[in-house]
Structure 1
Amino acid sequence: MEEAGVMESPDYVQTSLAGAMALGLEPGSFYRNAYPGSLNLLMTYRDGCRANCSYCGLARQRRGEADNNTFIRVKWPAYKLAAIMETLSRPPQAAAAKVQKLGRICISMITHPQAAADCLTIVRQVQAAAQLPVSVLASPTVLTDPGTFFQELKAAGAERIGIAVDAATPELFAAMRGRQVSGPHQWDTYWAAVEQAVRVFGRGYVSVHLIVGLGETEQNLVQTIGKAGDYGAQAHLFSFCPEPGSLLSQQQPPAYGQYRRCQLAAFLLNRRQIRPDDVSFDMQGKITGFGHRLNELLGENLASGEPFMTSGCPNREGCVACNRPYGNERPGPVLRNYPFRPETQDINIIKGQIWDD
């Protein structure tokens, strides 16, 4: 929609600050040259998202001035989709170096009645203009027939689907996203969408997003990663980071040790090197072992730091494109998700954190 002073999808989309910088639309530099490998496009509407998730910057009842609102802690400026596509469609010799590093486009729906139809329109336009694989982060709550919608998305050119379950248990889901916060989302609706997405796109082409640090135990998280794997989906982890103005703005992020152990579990479970039953826990649900020595399981991957790099959809070469630079914290010497391959000093820090809270 395009009216005077109104910027709405499908004509307009928001993009992360990192994405806008990569396109040359915002000034700035990337700490340690952590250029984004994926351009994340967020759908936008004048009346906003209809959900009210307690940790989210898009929440319907978020406190604060709308003009100062952020999402994942940074601003997401809105641009005309056609202008973004024009930038991406330039021949390599005319494209900026940062643009050439992009290996995927991800379109994120929000919980809005127009989102499903508009998402299809955006996917078709993106597919026609950009020579990049396309992912969609779907909002199951607004899908009346998920199976048909996913078939239409695939026909439009989407290659992968993400479902942001976020909370690791039904109880936390209800408390953070459902009735307890006057939100519309339901645990069963999300997992039914995961099942339908795998049927349409195939095993390994669907991802489930999970946030570490919403109040779950590590055992809860391992069980839910296993559940995603049973459906044929990969689990991609995010570390909780308090969003100003959200209901959880005063909650602290998880300890580094907690997040590192969950990263190791996700890495091993996604690759089916272990099953959830192989992981051992203490009485508080904290991981105490993985059934085998880590070095035997991970080999060179542990030395390279790969389990601690951002997990996300790949580029055409099979490397992670959705590296989301500094989406979990501000740039600094100690990161939760590394948007690049960790260096020796990074790996030494990481190894010291795994069993230390």
Structure 2
Amino acid sequence: MRVLFGDGTIAQLGEEAARLGMRRPLVLSTPEQQTQAQEILTLLGDASSGGFFGATMHTPVAVTEQAMAVVAERRSDGLIAFGGGSTTGLSKAIALRTDLPQIAIPTTYAGSEMTPILGETRDGEKHTLRSEKVLPETTIYDVAYTIGLPPAMSATSGLNAMAHAIEALYARDRNPIISLMAETAIGSLVHALPAILARPDDRAARTEALYGAWLCGITLGAVEMGLHHKLCHTLGGSFDLPHAPTHSVVLPYALAYNTAAAPEAVAVLRRVFGQDDVAVALHEFGRRIGAPSSLSSLGLRESDLDRAADLATARPYPNPRVLDRTSIRALLDDAYHGRAPGTSAGTAG
């Protein structure tokens, strides 16, 4: 993987595409970012095969199949993903099927561009896989493209990034270097996000946040994730909740669930937040920067909680605390109502 990081690094796009042998890359984005993606096409000039602007949350297989048809029709020889996790996910899904080279240009703090992980949704369930085929060959981090990210989206996207690093701290296969990256990443975002809320065009704060998100993405790709990511994949893939806001809501509750079983991670987070109860500190931090604090506010129905608990505990996966369906159901109830983390026996552990 090659990373270009800075302010104005997009100027190197044409050179980077040529280095990867791209003569007819397809530019990908969501419908909402089509106008900006058109600017990328302008930069490429004649050296592209146009754009596909239909990327959407949770990488539905049906959308990937539509994009695959465009790739084949235009004989595209590379992929340029402009946007957040939805666009990067689509690029990865195409690369998995074609092995085309990818350039990622992130405009959020999602971190997907740093991982060999792909999550796809089929028949109402989200499934993840790891393959080096989906890891972008180059990521161009250009701070300029994050300046326009609204403060509310910056908050949820930043908390989404922090989730990767927090789970990396207690991952079964963690190591000292990844833990060091995770601590630095979380600290960067804790410092930068309130500044972005106060001054959305603060380039120093935006740079620090993007740096933190880059590190968070590395930790996500390097070690296994646990309960938090499983819950968010369940809520997103099966109930169509928005990706980053769901991470923002669930993270303090998943942390509270695992606190007693993850003393090393808790020690790191106490240093970062300067508080003993790190789950409550994280919950309060989210509220302070304007992130949503309940699953009900995201559109989940209370009648969905039982099915969500069933899906989240249907298959075993690594987590520091043993997964118990009754406790997970209690965790989801707390998250649904936005109670303080640790209120129920389910999250208090």
- Richer in helix (by share): 2
Question: Is the TM-score greater than 0.5?
Answer: no
Q: TM-score w.r.t. structure 1 length? A: 0.31
